[in-house]
A = this chain, B = another copy of it.
Amino acid sequence: MTYELFYWPGIPGRGEFVRLAFEATGTAYRDVCREEGTGEMFRLMDAAGINTPSFAPPILRDGDVIVGQAALILHFLGPRLGLVPENEMLRFWTHQIQLTIVDFVAEIHDTHHPVGGDFYYEEQKREALRRAGTFRNSRLPKFFGWFESIIKRNASGWLVGDEMSYVDLSLFLLVEGLTYGFPKTVAKAMPDYPLIASVHDMVAALPRIATYLKSTRRQAFNEDGIFRFYPELEDA
């Protein structure tokens, strides 16, 4: 059965963490909403016969199994795609890193939406300017410092174990997205995080990922997504 991914079309968003796992391993999957629209996705969140209705996308369907929450989808897929170590406690640790990435992503989103999703960015720009300052000066260095220290402790060059795992792919996406949204901040910061930069570059150099990045399956970052480029949020 081909894996089916359900996510908002038009943005990479949180669905991209899952796409990268499929793409890096050459795993067949359908990006359903891009092919067919969001009808089935909403049915999975709400219909009467669905026993495990996810609160929000991304949602993965694997035959009868429906799983929501990006980090849980990766925890589910990791062993199946060979993107996590065999050891159970290392799988927990990998999942813990991904959950911390989830927290970071929520904070990245809130740089442009500190008041919440009910208002457009332009309606909360004053609040966003303040929040983005805190993010750039305090939160981004704290999260990046943590990732860097984990790679350093592990000593293989990857975040966990001896080989690439799904959290390395997610860290790659963080660097890509933040470089899009906060180019000057990231350019200035990256020399402090050589091990993160190395993971990013190793992932980018994977032949399957390099092919994916040039394909039409890859959607560009834009100002409807999590990673947005509003120049004023770097200058505040």
Contacts and interface: CB of A to CB of B under 8 A. Distances in A.
Interface of A: 50-55, 65, 67-69, 71-72, 76, 89, 92-93, 95-96, 99-100, 102-103, 106-107, 110, 114-119, 124, 127, 130-131, 134-135, 138-139, 143, 146, 149-150, 153-154
A9 B33 CA distance: 46
A88 B100 CA distance: 23
Main secondary structure of the interface of A (DSSP, over half): helix
Nearest to A127: B127
B118 A69 contact: no
A114 B131 contact: yes
How many copies the complex holds: the figure is 2
Nearest to A135: B116
25 contacts: A50-B153, A51-B154, A52-B93, A53-B150, A54-B96, A55-B100, A55-B103, A68-B96, A72-B95, A72-B96, A76-B92, A99-B102, A106-B106, A114-B114, A114-B127, A115-B130, A115-B134, A116-B131, A116-B134, A116-B138, A118-B134, A119-B134, A124-B130, A127-B127, A127-B130
A117 B115 CA distance: 15
Contacts of A107: 116
A89 B93 CA distance: 20
A166 to B, nearest CB: 15
Nearest to A50: B153
Given A67-B92, A96-B72, A153 B53 contact: yes
Contacts of A149: 53
Contacts of A69: 96, 99-100
A42 B72 CA distance: 27
A138 B110 contact: no
A52 B160 CA distance: 10
Contact of A96 (B50, B52, B100): B52
B150 A131 contact: no
A71 B75 CA distance: 13
B153 A131 contact: no
Nearest to A153: B51
Interface centre among A55, A69, A118, A153 (most CB of B within 10 A): A55
A51 B55 CA distance: 33
Contact of A71 (B99, B127, B134): B99
